[in-house]
Chains A and B, each alone.
Chain A
Amino acid sequence: MRKYTSDGFYAYLRRDLLQSHRRLGEAASPLIFFVMASTLVPLGITPDPASLAEIASGIIWVFALLATMLSVGGLFAGDYQDGSLEQLLISPQVLVMPVLGKVTAHWLITGLPLTLVSPLLGLMLFLPEAGYLPMTASLALGTACLSLLGAVGAALTVSLQKGGMLLALIVMPLYMPVIIFGAATVQYGIDGLAWTAPLAILGAMLAAAIALCPLAIASVLRLTSIN
């Protein structure tokens, strides 16, 4: 009995989570980067609470974006090198489900921890109290978007030896709408406006990304394997 499509999702989700579990140090680096980079801001710009409070939401969002972007590059690289990507491409199952499984694993390893740790950084950067809930909510949805969009870039650059910079150039424009509505959610929350409105748009983006990105990734992966 062959695997059903949902099994492909769980098989790859489980495998990637297990791999990260075995290399916890590597899996934790995006989170450590996120925390350390945010620490640089009070050191480098100003330790003044009032000025920090004004830029806190933007800083947290920018570094969450960068941390995701740096980690997403390796999403398919290992599979490409050891031949398991080829095995995936010649398996009879629908490519979309394993791809979605891998991206979900990536979000659980990077996006979710970033979201959970962000209130701590908010505290350090004197984020106004009203901003915490919008920030965590927007990061939860937003980082999932970032993982999905980043995975498209990772698939495009998978066959390149040093694709990191190119990946950044491809992915950055795609990240712009996400950070606009993500940071707006936090700002609306702080200003006492209806922050659920930009959050809803972020949710809509995520829904579209879940539907479309795996398709794009699957067809890009087929293209890269041609040679």
Chain B
Amino acid sequence: MGNPSLISIENLRFERDDTTVVSCDQLHVNVGEILQIEGPNGSGKTTLLRLLTTAIQPQEGTILYCGKSIAECRFEYLSDILFIGHQSAVKLTLTAEENLAWMAESELSSAASLRALESLGLAGYSDIPCYKLSAGQQRRVALARLLLSDARLWYLDEPFTAIDRDGVKLLERCMEDHVSSGGAVVVSTHQDLDVQDVRHYSVLGESLLRAYS
């Protein structure tokens, strides 16, 4: 099959209350690629990402993972993705380290999670309940999962919300490291990414985008 795309979407459509929320004829995500999903508010970026994570099911169309439908290889696919959404899934009563422990997909050594928290600038905050952390710090706790996961595909929905400038840079480096080691990133954000080789995809389609500009 040559070098099939990690993810290929074909004629994907998702409707809610008779309105088409997502309509995506063709989209490929290749290994070693950062794909930025763009579009105005309400254009279906989050819905597209949720379709990709199988949290919701499309009415039409297929998503192929390494050439196989994701319904066929559900376990392999879900084992290979990491999704960080608007809601960060951080439990506020638990400490940063405990949060990482329950979210981890495998047994996690304390040293590994401390290292991850440290590289996200949370050294010294690992044993404090997360409700005492700021919004940006809570976000960083969620993002620390990126460093601990061995998933090849990252789906990040507005990962920069509440993150400061240094944090954004840090996250961009993380994404670059990830794609250079054979992963792929799909990220929805309004910010311009300062990374090499980012490919853009507009959820509105080209004709509408032209009408906007």
A side interface size, CB within 8 A: 26
Q: With A90-B81, A92-B75 given, is the CB distance from A2 to B56 under 8 Å? A: no
User: Measured between alpha carbons, how far is A84 from B53 in the docked complex, in Å?
Assistant: 14
B87's partner among A1, A82, A226 (CB-CB below 8 A) is A82
Asked if A86 and B85 make an inter-chain contact with CB atoms under 8 angstroms apart, the answer reads: yes
User: Measured between alpha carbons, how far is A85 from B98 in the docked complex, in Å?
Assistant: 17
Residues 130-163 of A contacting B (Cβ, < 8 Å) = none
Please indicate the chain A residues that have their CB under 8 angstroms from the CB of B85 in the complex.
83, 86
User: Interface stretch among A10-18, A42-50, A68-76, A170-178?
Assistant: A10-18
Size bin of chain B's contact surface: 20 to 34
What is the CB-to-nearest-CB distance from B210 to chain A, in angstroms, rounded to a whole number?
32
Please indicate the chain A residues that have their CB under 8 angstroms from the CB of B79 in the complex.
2, 92
Chain A 9-35 interface 0/1 with B at a Cβ cutoff of 8 Å (1 = within): 001101100110011000000000000
User: Measured between alpha carbons, how far is A7 from B101 in the docked complex, in Å?
Assistant: 12
Asked if A23 and B93 make an inter-chain contact with CB atoms under 8 angstroms apart, the answer reads: yes
Most buried by A among B87, B88, B90: B87
Q: Which residue of A lies closest to B81 (CB)?
A: A90
Interface of B is mostly: loop
User: Measured between alpha carbons, how far is A215 from B14 in the docked complex, in Å?
Assistant: 27
Chain B 52-66 interface 0/1 with A at a Cβ cutoff of 8 Å (1 = within): 011111000000000
Asked if B55 and A15 make an inter-chain contact with CB atoms under 8 angstroms apart, the answer reads: no
What is the CB-to-nearest-CB distance from B13 to chain A, in angstroms, rounded to a whole number?
15
**A-B pair number, CB within 8 angstroms:** 68
Q: Which residue of B lies closest to A12 (CB)?
A: B102
Asked if B83 and A15 make an inter-chain contact with CB atoms under 8 angstroms apart, the answer reads: no
Asked if B75 and A22 make an inter-chain contact with CB atoms under 8 angstroms apart, the answer reads: no
The reply to whether the CB of A89 lies closer than 8 angstroms to some CB of chain B is yes
Please indicate the chain B residues that have their CB under 8 angstroms from the CB of A51 in the complex.
none
Most buried by B among A1, A11, A86, A91: A86
Please indicate the chain B residues that have their CB under 8 angstroms from the CB of A19 in the complex.
91, 93-94
Q: With A15-B91, A22-B129, A82-B89 given, is the CB distance from A90 to B102 under 8 Å? A: no
Please indicate the chain A residues that have their CB under 8 angstroms from the CB of B81 in the complex.
90
Asked if B78 and A92 make an inter-chain contact with CB atoms under 8 angstroms apart, the answer reads: yes
The chain A residues found within 8 Å of chain B, CB to CB, are 1-3, 7, 11-12, 14-15, 18-19, 22-23, 78, 81-84, 86-87, 89-92, 225-227
The chain B residues found within 8 Å of chain A, CB to CB, are 16, 53-57, 74-75, 78-79, 81, 83, 85-94, 98, 102-103, 105-107, 129
